[in-house]
């Protein structure tokens, strides 16, 4: 114990010293006369460029705003005694993730590719990367990275140690997300598959949501279910969330942000198909909600509000990959199926003893894969790969044959294996090293007071122990 803490302290000091040295070097390097840069001020600001920037930035702001959406949804679906903990996690994953992604992640994701595996340039966005275009792209990818990262907090809620979550945040933003992102969006090997137009994931059903969802699955599995989630006979018992209003608010905020997420992914508003994307985003979510609500009504006899809320997310995740390539009616069908899949997935995981307090694995993971596949089915041949020029993307139902579907299937499998595998490794290693689950008394008492020193709602009498 004593030795271990001494070592810890040593490591800490070494780290701090190193950090300071780096900082000094950084300051020294970058501060010679004016900044080294390609085009930091955008001298060439044509109106065409200005429109692009306005669109992409506004959409990126919307995506960033999905953070409180996740925070409110997760808090609402968990217990009051862990609300401050969830707020901290949802804030700090963005904080840590953003800093990590800026310093390292972006270079790995979008830097010049090393054999299609990962990028190698653009560290700290210095030198030629100090450029308005590069910064714009970095910002866009950063908010997507933060979304992937924050999905996990729901699946591991109410029992993961804060320290473990911080470390996980670094790993996901520095490695898990950027590397898979590189494969699909950064010119990596998946984007060079010899089937159809290769791996296609318009706005990130796979790259963002399924990655987040399956890392979350890994986390939930390593952690095990919360105390009380299964009763003595192993029968699952719901643990109701503490605020349906906050959860609903979160879902609406997410939906709002999702318009930026999907429509912004043309990365160019001159592709007027952004209107079709917006419509598809507005239709898949209702379809998902409806499917989930009706299924729950059929199975339980009640109009289950929580399921309807999850259904919105399911529909949105489902339409994320195909949103630019399908018609409105297809968006509805994709959403309906996503909602049903989510319901089935929740029940399946529950029956397998996996405790995902907010349904993140089902909504983001399962439906993320479905989104990838649906491209290969419903793509209607009217839009290309982020391009209004041919070749256009055509799926099975529009006579495009099964090639694209194959590419999507491969992507889906790789996505699952990578995210789940890396997630499992990360959480398992941490668990071996220091134990990632809070002690039982702390879990019973709630994490807020022992870890953060304060209850989230000190003025209210809370009845649940």
Partner 1 sequence: MKKIEAIIRIEKFEEVKDALNELGYPGMTKTPVEGHGKQKGLKQQFRGTTFVVEFPPKIKLEIVAADKNVDEIVDAIVTKARTGEVGDGKIFISPVESVIKVRTGEKGEEAL
Binding residues (CB under 8 A) for partner 1: these are 77, 236-241, 296, 299-300, 302, 304, 306-307, 310, 343, 346-347, 350, 359, 441, 444-445, 449, 453-455, 458, 461-463, 465
Nearer to partner 1, 246 or 323 (CB): 246
Q: Which residues pair with 396 in a beta bridge?
A: none
Q: Hey, which residues between 64 and 93 contact a second copy (CB under 8 A)?
A: 64-65, 67-68, 71-72, 75, 79-81, 83-85, 87-88, 90-92
Nearer to a second copy, 16 or 117 (CB): 16
Pick from a second copy, partner 1, none: which does 354 bind, CB < 5 to 8 A by kind? Answer: none
Residue with tokens 């906050």, as numbered in its chain: 246
**Tokens at 21, concatenated:** 């040295």
Pick from partner 1, a second copy, none: which does 87 bind, CB < 5 to 8 A by kind? Answer: a second copy
CA distance linking residue 218 with residue 387, whole number of Å: 36
- 440 and 213 in contact (C-beta within 8 Å)? no
- 316 and 284 in contact (C-beta within 8 Å)? yes
Q: Compute the least distance from the CB of residue 83 to a second copy, in Å.
A: 5
Q: Does 353 bind a second copy (CB under 8 A)?
A: no
**Residue 344, C-beta contacts closer than 8 angstroms, at least 6 positions apart:** none
Site string for a second copy, 202-241 (x = CB under 8 A): --------------------------------------xx
Q: Does 391 bind a second copy (CB under 8 A)?
A: no
Among 104, 172, 179, 263, binds a second copy (CB under 8 A): 263
Interface region with a second copy, contact rule CB under 8 A, candidates 47-55, 173-181, 187-195, 210-218: 47-55
Torsion of CA 26, 29, 31, 35, to 10 degrees: -100
Neighbours of 436 (CB within 10 A): 24
Backbone angles phi, psi at 294, to 5 degrees: -70, -40
Q: Compute the least distance from the CB of residue 238 to a second copy, in Å.
A: 8
Nearer to a second copy, 33 or 234 (CB): 33
Pick from partner 1, a second copy, none: which does 380 bind, CB < 5 to 8 A by kind? Answer: a second copy
Among 25, 227, 303, 434, binds a second copy (CB under 8 A): 303
User: What is the full DSSP assignment across 345-408?
Assistant: HHHHHHHTT---TT-HIIIIIIHHHHHHHHHHHH-EEEEESSSSSSSEEE-GGGT--SHHHHHH
CA distance linking residue 319 with residue 205, whole number of Å: 8
Q: Compute the least distance from the CB of residue 208 to partner 1, in Å.
A: 23
Pick from a second copy, partner 1, none: which does 19 bind, CB < 5 to 8 A by kind? Answer: none
Q: Does 40 bind a second copy (CB under 8 A)?
A: yes
Q: Compute the least distance from the CB of residue 424 to a second copy, in Å.
A: 26
**Residue 258, C-beta contacts closer than 8 angstroms, at least 6 positions apart:** 62, 66, 281, 285, 316, 320
């Amino acid at each position: 114990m004593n030795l271990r803490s001494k070592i810890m302290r040593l490591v800490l000091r070494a780290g701090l010293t190193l950090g300071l040295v780096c900082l000094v070097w950084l300051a020294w390097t970058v501060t010679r006369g004016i900044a080294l840069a390609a085009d930091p001020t955008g001298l060439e600001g044509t109106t065409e460029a200005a429109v692009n920037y306005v669109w992409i930035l506004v959409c990126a702001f919307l995506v960033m705003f999905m953070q409180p959406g996740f925070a409110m949804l997760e808090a609402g679906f968990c217990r009051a005694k862990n609300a401050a903990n969830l707020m901290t996690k949802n804030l700090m994953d963005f904080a840590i993730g953003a800093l990590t992604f800026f310093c390292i992640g972006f270079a790995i994701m979008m830097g010049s590719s090393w054999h299609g595996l990962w990028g190698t340039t653009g560290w700290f966005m210095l030198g030629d990367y100090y450029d308005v275009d590069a910064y714009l792209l970095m910002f866009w990818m950063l908010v997507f990275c933060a979304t992937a990262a924050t999905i996990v907090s729901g699946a591991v809620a109410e029992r993961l140690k804060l320290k473990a979550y911080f470390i996980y945040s670094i790993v996901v933003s520095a490695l898990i997300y950027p590397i898979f992102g590189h494969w699909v969006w950064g010119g990596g090997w998946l984007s060079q598959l010899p089937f159809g137009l290769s791996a296609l994931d318009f706005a990130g059903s796979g790259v963002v949501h399924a990655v987040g969802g399956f890392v979350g699955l890994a986390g939930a599995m390593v952690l095990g279910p919360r105390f009380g989630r299964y009763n003595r006979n192993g029968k699952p018992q719901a643990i109701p969330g503490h605020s349906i209003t906050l959860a609903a608010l979160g879902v609406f905020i997410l939906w709002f942000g999702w318009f930026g997420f999907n429509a912004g992914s043309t990365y160019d508003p001159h592709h007027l198909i952004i209107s079709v994307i917006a419509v598809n985003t507005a239709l898949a979510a209702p379809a998902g909600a409806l499917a989930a609500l009706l299924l729950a009504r059929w199975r339980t006899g009640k109009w289950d509000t929580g399921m309807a809320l999850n259904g919105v997310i399911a529909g949105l995740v489902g339409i994320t990959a195909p949103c630019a390539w399908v018609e409105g009616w297809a968006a509805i069908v994709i959403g309906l199926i996503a909602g049903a899949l989510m319901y089935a997935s929740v029940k399946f995981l529950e029956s397998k003893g996996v405790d995902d307090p907010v349904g993140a694995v089902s909504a983001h993971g399962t439906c993320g894969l479905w989104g990838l596949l649906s491209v290969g089915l419903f793509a209607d041949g009217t839009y290309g790969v982020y391009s209004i020029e041919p070749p256009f993307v055509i799926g099975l139902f529009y006579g495009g044959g099964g090639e694209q579907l194959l590419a999507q299937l491969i992507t889906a499998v790789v996505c699952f294996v990578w995210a789940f595998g890396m997630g499992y490794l990360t959480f398992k290693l941490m668990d071996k090293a220091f134990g990632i689950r809070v002690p039982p008394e702390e879990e019973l008492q709630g994490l807020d007071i022992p870890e953060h020193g304060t209850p989230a709602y000190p003025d209210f009498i809370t009845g649940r122990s």
